[in-house]
C-alpha cells in the first residue's frame, strides 16, 4: 500500500526567498547597466574636452558609495558610476538615478518615458513590472492602450484651456522623439515652459510640428494668445528655431524680447574652429557669458575677435551676428541670469529620454506622442524649482521697470532719461 504524502499548504520559505532575491538581483543589474550606459554616453559626448596639456577633462572615476534604492521587487544596493568632470561649472548628474532618489518612479512618469523611448505597447508589461513590481502586472496591453487614450483626452482638454496667469519669461525648444510619426520622420514636439509672476515654472505648450518651421510655431503662439495669454517679457531659445520669425510676426508678442541660448551658440561657434584652438576659444566664450556687466562681455568679445577673426572668420561671424540677442539678459535681474542664458529647463526635463537616437519599427501618432510628452512634463513640473531671486523683481518687470547690468533702474531715473 502506497503512502500518500500530505500536500504543502504553504510554499517553502527558502524557495520564496530565492525568488525574491532573483527578482531583486535582476532589477539591480538592469539599473546598473542603465547607469553605466548613461555615463559612457556622457563621456563619449565630451571626448574632445581637453586641457592645455591634452588631458581629457571628463573621465570615469570609479563608483560612489553604496546606496539603497527601493524598487518594485524590493530594496537593492547600488553603487553608481562616478564621473570626474573638471570643466568650469560643469557636473555630471544622472537623470536615471538622481543623487537623492530613493524610490523608483511611478507609472505616471515611467510609462511616457517607455513610450517616447520607442518601446512597443506589448513590452510595457514586463518593463513596468521590473521597475514597479507585481502591482503593475494587471496593466495588460489593452489596459495600457486605454490609459494612453485617457491621457490623450486630458492633453486635448489642457491644450484648449483658458490661460489666466501672467508669465514673465518663456523657454522654447523643439524636441525630437524616437517614435516614427507616420512617414515624416522630421516631426518633433514644440515645447514652451513659462515663469509665472510668482516665480513658478509651468508648462505652457506642447505641440507636434517642425523645429525650423515658423508656420508651426505661429500656430502655437496664436493659440496661446487666443486663449488669453498676455505675452511674456522675454523668450529664450536656440537661434536655429523657426520660433523667432513667428514671434516677430505674431500679433500680441510685439513687446517680447529675445534671448538666444548660450550653450547652443557656444557649440555652433566652436564647430567652426579646429579642435586645437577650441579650449582657448571656449574659455573666452564662457567669459562673455558670465561677465558681470555688458561692457565686460563686449571686452571679452573683442579679445575673441582679435585672436580669431583672421583665421576663423566664420566662427567670429557666428558669434557677432546675434550678439544683441545673446546679451539681452543683462537688462534683466541678475538673480535670473543663470536661468535666462540657456534652455536648460526644457532639455533637462527630457534628459531621461534619449530622444535623438534610432526610431522604432512601429508607427506612432502625433497625438499620442504629444500626450505622453505632456504627462512626462507634468511629472517633471512637480519637481521644478522656482526661479531664483526676489519676487519683487518679477513684479518690477511686469510694471515696466528697466534693468541695467542686472540692477533695477529707479523709476525717477527712467523718467529723467525719457524727458531728456
pLDDT for res 333: 97
Question: What are the tens digits of pLDDT across the range 143-163?
Answer: 667 767 877 888 999 999 999
Query: In 3D, which of 88, 91, 100 has the Cα closest to residue 283?
Result: 88
Question: How many Å apart are CA 334 and CA 406, to the nearest integer?
Answer: 4
Minimum mean pLDDT range among 97-111, 255-269, 390-404? 97-111
pTM: 0.70
End-to-end CA distance of the chain: 118
Q: Which of 204-208, 304-308, 316-320 has the lowest mean pLDDT?
A: 204-208
pLDDT tens per residue across span 96-142: 676 655 555 555 556 666 555 555 555 555 555 544 454 444 455 66
Task: Answer yes or no: is pLDDT of 9 > 50.
Answer: no
Q: 26 in a domain, yes or no?
A: yes
Structural domain for 97, as ranges: 12-104
Q: Does residue 356 sit within a domain?
A: no
Assigned domain for 124 exists: no
Higher pLDDT among residues 103 and 67, named by residue:
67
Cell numbers representing residue 229 in the block: 495669454
152 in any annotated domain: no
- pLDDT for 182-216, tens place per residue? 555 556 889 999 999 999 999 999 998 887 789 99
Tell whether 208 is covered by a domain. no
Specify whether the CB–CB gap between 370 and 208 falls below 8 A: yes
> For the chain, how many structural domains are there in total?
1
Residue 244: inside a domain: no
User: Is 39 inside a domain boundary?
Assistant: yes
- Domain-located, residue 65: yes
pLDDT of 112 reads 62
Distance CA 300, CA 315 (A): 15
Amino acid at each position: 500500500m502506497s503512502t500518500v504524502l500530505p500536500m504543502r499548504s504553504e510554499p517553502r520559505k527558502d524557495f520564496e526567498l530565492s525568488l525574491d532575491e532573483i527578482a531583486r538581483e535582476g532589477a539591480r543589474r538592469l539599473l546598473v547597466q542603465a547607469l553605466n550606459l548613461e555615463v559612457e554616453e556622457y563621456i563619449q559626448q565630451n571626448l574632445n574636452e581637453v586641457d592645455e596639456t591634452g588631458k581629457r577633462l571628463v573621465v570615469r572615476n570609479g563608483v560612489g558609495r553604496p546606496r539603497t534604492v527601493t524598487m518594485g521587487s524590493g530594496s537593492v544596493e547600488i553603487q553608481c558610476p562616478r564621473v570626474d568632470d573638471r570643466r568650469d561649472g560643469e557636473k555630471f548628474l544622472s537623470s536615471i538615478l538622481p543623487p537623492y532618489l530613493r524610490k523608483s518612479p511611478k507609472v505616471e512618469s515611467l510609462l511616457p518615458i517607455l513610450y517616447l523611448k520607442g518601446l512597443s505597447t506589448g513590452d510595457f508589461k514586463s518593463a513596468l513590472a521590473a521597475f514597479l513590481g507585481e502591482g503593475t502586472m494587471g496593466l495588460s496591453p489593452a489596459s495600457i492602450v486605454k490609459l494612453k487614450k485617457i491621457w490623450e483626452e486630458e492633453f486635448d482638454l489642457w491644450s484648449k484651456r483658458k490661460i489666466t496667469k501672467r508669465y514673465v519669461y518663456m523657454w522654447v525648444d523643439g524636441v525630437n522623439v524616437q517614435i516614427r510619426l507616420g512617414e515624416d520622420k522630421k516631426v518633433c514636439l514644440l515645447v514652451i515652459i513659462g515663469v509665472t509672476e510668482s516665480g513658478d515654472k509651468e508648462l505652457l505648450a506642447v505641440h507636434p510640428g517642425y523645429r525650423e518651421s515658423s508656420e508651426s510655431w505661429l500656430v502655437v503662439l496664436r493659440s496661446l494668445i487666443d486663449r488669453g495669454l498676455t505675452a511674456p517679457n522675454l523668450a529664450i531659445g536656440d537661434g536655429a528655431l523657426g520660433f523667432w520669425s513667428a514671434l516677430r510676426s505674431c500679433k500680441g508678442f510685439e513687446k517680447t524680447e529675445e534671448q538666444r541660448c548660450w550653450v547652443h551658440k557656444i557649440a555652433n561657434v566652436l564647430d567652426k574652429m579646429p579642435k586645437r584652438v577650441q579650449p582657448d576659444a571656449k574659455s573666452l566664450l564662457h567669459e562673455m557669458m558670465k561677465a558681470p556687466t555688458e561692457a565686460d562681455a563686449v571686452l571679452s568679445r573683442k579679445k575673441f575677435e582679435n585672436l580669431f577673426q583672421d583665421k576663423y572668420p566664420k566662427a567670429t561671424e557666428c558669434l557677432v551676428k546675434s550678439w544683441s540677442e545673446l546679451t539681452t539678459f543683462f537688462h534683466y535681474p541678475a538673480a535670473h541670469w543663470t536661468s535666462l542664458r540657456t534652455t536648460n529647463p526644457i532639455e533637462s526635463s527630457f534628459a531621461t529620454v534619449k530622444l535623438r537616437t534610432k526610431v522604432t519599427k512601429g508607427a506612432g501618432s502625433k497625438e499620442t506622442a504629444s500626450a505622453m510628452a505632456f504627462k512626462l512634463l507634468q511629472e517633471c513640473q512637480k519637481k521644478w524649482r522656482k526661479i531664483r531671486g526676489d519676487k519683487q523683481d518679477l513684479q518690477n518687470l511686469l510694471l515696466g521697470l528697466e534693468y541695467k547690468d542686472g540692477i533695477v533702474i529707479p523709476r525717477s531715473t527712467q523718467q529723467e532719461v525719457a524727458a531728456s
